[in-house]
């Protein structure tokens, strides 16, 4: 079983456990009573402002192990907001990542759009993301059939959310575009080996049509990495481990944005 297959299976099991506690109809009622979340796509669209930053709350990972397991999502999100982040990504998968759904609500308290990053394969997971205050959800093309991808994209739109549709190669990118994705995530990490090749973004970017927002994910650690990606023309960068390992995440984010270190 590949890492992705294992992660998707674990995600389904976690969702099934939550379904037994809170029904989809209860989530729908909660969403109906909630205020609209801030727009994720608008926050990360580059325009004339330069490359945007999505700062990630990631307590641990399968490739790096424990990073900051006891971190407070609220405090980190406030640090990121002070450092100039444009949006927050929150890993909610317990399996390998030590995340929790409550981290969405905590991070949303900083006032920035929040992306729920998880192995989402069920409509229920999109509903619970919106009910917790997320502005967007991550959808991984390699984890979904073409029909499932369209279904989840449509549901996110109906709920007033965006979807960051992640791909790891040209085939995944083609499926994302065919499904109508308006925000594409190019992940530089190989799903099988978990190794990172930052050149993945450069190879795939010419295949993305104008008007689609592009986010480069994984392997962005230094100011030189930020400058390189900005020169390629991506809209936004998703940065996690480099910030999570910093003693002062806000200052580290400022350094990356200013082109230092």
Indicate which residue of 11, 187, 188, 216 is catalytic.
Answer: 187
Indicate which residue of 14, 128, 217, 241 is catalytic.
Answer: 217
Indicate which residue of 11, 14, 89, 117 is catalytic.
Answer: 117
Q: Residues 6 or more apart from 171 whose CB is under 8 A from it?
A: none
β-strand pairing of 65-66 with 60-61: antiparallel
Indicate which residue of 79, 128, 166, 241 is catalytic.
Answer: 166
Indicate which residue of 14, 56, 128, 241 is catalytic.
Answer: 56
End-to-end CA distance of the chain: 39
What the block records as the tokens of 177 is 């575009």
Whole-angstrom distance, CA of residue 136 vs CA of residue 161: 5
Tell me whether residue 217 is one of the annotated catalytic residues: yes
Nearest to 169, CA basis, from 132, 219, 207: 207
Tell me whether residue 195 is one of the annotated catalytic residues: no
The answer to whether residues 172 and 141 touch, using CB atoms and an 8 Å cutoff, is yes
Tell me whether residue 248 is one of the annotated catalytic residues: no
Whole-angstrom distance, CA of residue 173 vs CA of residue 46: 20
Indicate which residue of 58, 89, 135, 216 is catalytic.
Answer: 58
Tell me whether residue 56 is one of the annotated catalytic residues: yes
Q: Exposed, middle or buried: residue 233 (CB in 10 Å: 0-12, 13-18, 19+)?
A: middle
What the block records as the tokens of 261 is 């270190």
Whole-angstrom distance, CA of residue 100 vs CA of residue 104: 8
Tell me whether residue 257 is one of the annotated catalytic residues: no
Residue bearing tokens 């205020």: 35
**Up-side HSE of residue 192: CA atoms within 13 Å toward CB?**
1
Indicate which residue of 89, 188, 218, 241 is catalytic.
Answer: 218
Length of the chain: 261
Tell me whether residue 93 is one of the annotated catalytic residues: no
* Degrees, nearest 5: CA angle 157-161-164: 95
The catalytic residues are: 56, 58, 117, 166, 187, 217-218
């Amino acid at each position: 079983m590949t890492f992705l297959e294992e992660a998707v299976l674990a995600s389904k099991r976690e969702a099934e456990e939550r379904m037994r506690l809170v029904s989809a109809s209860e989530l729908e009622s909660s969403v109906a009573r909630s205020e609209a979340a801030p727009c994720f796509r608008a926050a990360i669209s580059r325009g004339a402002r330069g490359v945007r930053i999505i700062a990630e709350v990631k307590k641990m990972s399968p490739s790096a192990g424990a990073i900051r397991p006891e971190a407070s999502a609220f405090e980190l999100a406030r640090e990121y907001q002070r450092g100039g982040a444009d949006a927050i990504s929150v890993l909610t998968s317990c399996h390998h990542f030590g995340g929790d759904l409550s981290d969405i609500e905590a991070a949303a308290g900083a006032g920035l759009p929040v992306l729920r990053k998880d192995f989402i394969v069920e409509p229920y997971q999109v509903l619970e993301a919106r009910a917790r205050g997320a502005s967007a959800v991550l959808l991984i093309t390699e984890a979904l059939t073409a029909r499932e991808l369209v279904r989840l994209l449509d549901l996110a739109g109906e709920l007033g959310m965006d979807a960051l549709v992640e791909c790891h190669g040209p085939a995944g990118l083609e499926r994302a575009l065919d499904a109508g994705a308006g925000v594409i995530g190019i992940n530089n990490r190989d799903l099988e080996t978990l190794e990172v090749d930052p050149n993945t973004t450069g190879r795939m970017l010419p295949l993305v049509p104008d008007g689609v927002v592009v986010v480069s994910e994984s392997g962005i650690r230094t100011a030189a990495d930020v400058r390189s990606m900005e020169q390629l023309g991506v809209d936004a960068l998703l940065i996690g481990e480099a910030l999570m390992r910093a003693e002062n995440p806000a200052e580290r984010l400022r350094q990356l944005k200013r082109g230092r270190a």
